[in-house]
Structure 1
Amino acid sequence: MNAISPTDRNVLGHSMKPCSHDPMTGFVRDGCCRDHPRDQGRHLICAVMTEGFLAFTQAQGNDLTTPYPAYGFPGLRAGDRWCVCVDRWIEARNAGVAPLVDLNATHESVLEFVPLAELTARSAAGARIVRSMVSANGFALPS
């Protein structure tokens, strides 16, 4: 397993944090959504899987729920954290099913494609802020 390089930065400009070691994620399966020259898919966004996103990506031809033991892939469930492709996340966002993002484990190069304000709004922290603001104004959001 490779250690996180001190030069790897997240979208907040800080040192990268791991996305997940269980299941093991990342292009080189080191737990991190780091940039890698051979990663043509740009698996740079650390996302929390949802049923909606998993169904969406399966409909696009990428089944993330079926285990593939020969490749050490356990299959994903809602709640798992996984490094997803920037383009797939954008497609899911456009379809209204983008999963939440862990800003501390999402690589800074994502900012070339998605503004920080949008990532923040779609982060776990951002979702809590929006919910508290909406609740304070007398509206209710579904869980």
Structure 2
Amino acid sequence: MLQKNVLGTELKSCSCNPMTGWYRDGSCRTDSSDYGRHTVCAVMTDQFLSYSQAQGNDLSTPQIGFPGLKKGDHWCLCAPRWKEAFEDGMAPLINLEATEESTLKIIDLEILMKFSHNNNS
């Protein structure tokens, strides 16, 4: 089944280098077993990576099977984590075409559009 993005069109790939997504297939698609809702295709910034590490989720340090993220990498973030970063003034830009539509249950489209990487690149 083809999943849609927050704009209502076909969900695009987020990143294959590094390989991201709940399924580790480059897409922010999801299913009912993805309790974290890894649906927001975010563009990493040094500010966000430091913020995430301070929140207890170190995305910068390489681990077995995980290269560690750096500024400019695209990554499927958990929608609740992105919303928390937004509320704390630390949210990274996102790729709307690669952000899965169920994100809209957690974050309003108007907010997502203000953080569109496509509008700011």
| Stretches (4+) displaced over 4 A | none
Q: Which amino acid aligns with 2:63?
A: Y
TM-score normalised by L of structure 1:
0.81
Q: Any residues of structure 2 matched to 1:42-53 within 5 Å, and which? A: 42-53=37-48
- Any unmatched runs of 5+ in structure 1? 129-143
**Matched residue, 1:37:** 32
Larger Rg: 1
- Rounded to whole Å, the distance in 2 between the matches of 1:30 and 1:36 is 14
**Matched residue, 1:56:** 51
Deviation at 1:116, TM superposition (A): 1.0
> Of the candidates 4, 9, 28, which is equivalent to residue 9 of structure 1?
4
> Would the aligned equivalents of 1:121 and 1:127 in 2 still touch at CA under 8 Å?
no
Identity of aligned residues (%): 52
**Matched residue, 1:113:** 106
TM-score normalised by L of structure 2:
0.95
Deviation at 1:11, TM superposition (A): 0.4
**Matched residue, 2:63:** 68
Q: Are 1:26 and 2:21 an aligned pair? A: yes
- Give the superposed CA RMSD: 1.1
Deviation at 1:36, TM superposition (A): 1.7
How many pairs are equivalent?
121
- Any unmatched runs of 5+ in structure 2? none
> Of the candidates 93, 97, 102, which is equivalent to residue 104 of structure 1?
97
